[in-house]
Amino acid sequence: MSSSPPLPVVAILVTQETAASVVYGMYDLFKCAGRDWPMVEGGSPGPALLDPVIVGANAGVVRVANEVPIEAQRRLDELEAPTAVCVPELLISPSGPLDGLYQAEVAWLRRCHAQGALLATACSGAVLLGEAGLLDGEDATTHWAFCDMLQQRYPLARVRPQRAMVTAGEGQRLVMAGGGSSWMDLALYLIARLTSIEAAMQVARLNLIDWHHVGQQPFARMARARQVEDAVIGRCQAWVAEHYTHPAPVTAMTQVSGLAERSFQRRFKLATGMTAMEYTQTLRIEEAKHLLETTENPVEAVAEEVGYDDAAFFSRLFKRSVNLSPAQYRRRFGGMRAALAESSALH
């Protein structure tokens, strides 16, 4: 029996100037990939897709920016060849001295890059790539407050202040995100590049990334494979997952169950918390979300493909369920999927 291949190792570098929120945020998102979505869908966690590890010049507790203690799980010299390295933002002054501050970290970044690792920085973390000499002749970006400093200190770099994210270098193995919460975009990009776009989209939906003002409804997903103790209803769930476009799904499920209609409706609601029609409509909405994200089909065609002849009715149902119209949903999530696909295709 063959063993599973090792997971991509993503090292998150900590120093005394590191922002703790970015370290913990990235660590949680990387841990989430592959694991949490199946848990929400079906009640059991899925297999992890990434292996994040926090590294520092020394193992043990590092008191980082704002006096937050973080435990470095490994020393730099204990992790010679990670798949990717993330450098979170640094709480430093754009005009402050850097000489000699990060000698161990800079040397390690050079070694990792030479061994083929992808190096990703958030915000002011890009300065460590400059200190390592990796930005010469390359596009770069960083927090807007550090762009002038980056250009002056590393004059061979081509700093792009207007860019929220830049990929550069041989094999596009240098990835830089700008300021603020762009570290979340960076984490999603890395998940998409190291695993899959779908895994990144799941993490985005689950964690409300980039669309906080909309609320949770656009990210909610009903558990298609939700396990129920009632085997008869479980059989009906499996049937409707494949036949949700059926013109009379509730009648058909009742026939599949072999129960009287009233008994079927009662047992279905007891087992799933939804009526059979609500369950079917939720399946249809979920498939419509996927089609809106991944195709340019007109809303009318999407409606028909998921089982609705009346596109206006479908649009009203979609908005009531998701709190966005189909067109609004496509603009938000289709655009994100396309951006991830385009970025991943560059490497």
State yes or no: pLDDT of 223 exceeds 70. Answer: no
More confident residue, 345 or 147: 147
Q: What is the C-alpha R_g of the chain?
A: 24
| Pick from 61-65, 167-171, 234-238, 338-342: least confident | 338-342
pLDDT tens digit string along 111-138? 999 999 999 999 999 999 999 999 999 9
At residue 344 the predicted structure's pLDDT band, cuts being 50, 70 and 90, is low
Higher pLDDT, 215 or 50: 50
Query: How much is the average pLDDT of 294-300?
Result: 90
Percent of the chain at pLDDT > 70 equals 91
Residue 220 banded pLDDT, cuts 50, 70, 90: very low
CB atoms within 10 A of CB 132: 19
Residue 331 or residue 314, greater confidence: 314
Handedness of CA 141, 144, 150, 156 (dihedral sign): positive
Quick check: 103 pLDDT over 90? yes
d(CA 45, CA 230): 22
Q: Are 168 and 189 in contact (CB under 8 A)?
A: no
Mean pLDDT of the chain: 86
Beta-ladder partners of 11: 53, 85
54 residue type, one letter: I
Domains of the chain: 9-210 (3.40.50.880), 231-338 (1.10.10.60)
Confidence class of residue 215 from pLDDT cuts 50, 70 and 90?
very low
Please indicate, yes or no, whether the overall pTM of this predicted structure exceeds 0.75: no
- SS3 label, residue 119: strand
Is the pLDDT assigned to residue 200 strictly greater than 60? Answer: yes
Cα–Cα distance measured from residue 288 to residue 304, given in angstroms and rounded to the nearest whole number: 10
Range 54-74 average pLDDT: 91
Tens of pLDDT, residues 158-183: 998 877 788 888 888 999 988 767 88
Task: Choose between 78 and 5: higher pLDDT.
Answer: 78
* Residue-level pLDDT at 27: 96
Judged against a pLDDT cut of 80, whether residue 225 lies above it is answered with no
